[in-house]
Chains A and B, each alone.
Chain A
């Protein structure tokens, strides 16, 4: 089993739709969680950290469920510019960060 698992997609949604991605992790000692966005042929960029209480940044909401060992990313009112690959990143205290394989989102007009 992979340390970090994501549904690769692709998710194809119309503009304005709400879409959610989940990411599961296997190590219960994981402490820090992030969502990154990677556009085609570009570097990954930090989208948002994920906090225990959940956090929101505009149209984006991140949640952490420690009991079930998953994090989620919700995108409301999807824009064409949201089309990208979304990477889940999990870090164990004092250890390296592990990247998921990514979920590809395509928002269509």
Chain B
């Protein structure tokens, strides 16, 4: 089990549903991230939080709404999604967005989302 825990592992939702993905890190990191990975495609950065403040929104549609109540928890609220939003959603954490210390990211196991 990694130091970054994501729930649920799998989620099937209809296009009119509202659901939330949860991420929790136990590593004392200050930065947390949401990534999307569609089938056989590269990782796409969605959001970056540093010390609970959103520092990056990578032109993500408003049907995805992040929330970061503290440095250890990150949520992704989902509503009125489309079938093309089906993907693996990965949460990651790091000491900070500044990588000069040579410390990389730790990823959670991801939530595999299917929109029907």
Contact = CB atoms under 8 A, between A and B. Distances in A.
Size class of the B contact interface (CB-based, 8 Å): 20 to 34
B43 A96 contact: no
Contacts, number: 58
Interface stretch (B13-21, B66-74, B76-84, B101-109): B101-109
A94 interface: yes
Interface stretch (A11-19, A40-48, A71-79): A40-48
Contacts of A89: 104-105
A73 to B, nearest CB: 14
Contacts of B110: 42-43
A32 interface: yes
7 contacts: A36-B104, A43-B90, A43-B107, A43-B109, A87-B43, A93-B98, A102-B42
Interface of A: 31-32, 34, 36, 41-46, 49, 51, 87, 89, 91, 93-97, 99-102
Given A94-B98, A95-B97, A96-B56, 20 more contacts: A31-B99, A32-B99, A32-B100, A32-B102, A41-B88, A41-B112, A43-B90, A43-B108, A45-B107, A46-B106, A49-B104, A91-B99, A93-B98, A93-B99, A94-B100, A95-B98, A96-B97, A97-B97, A97-B99, A99-B42
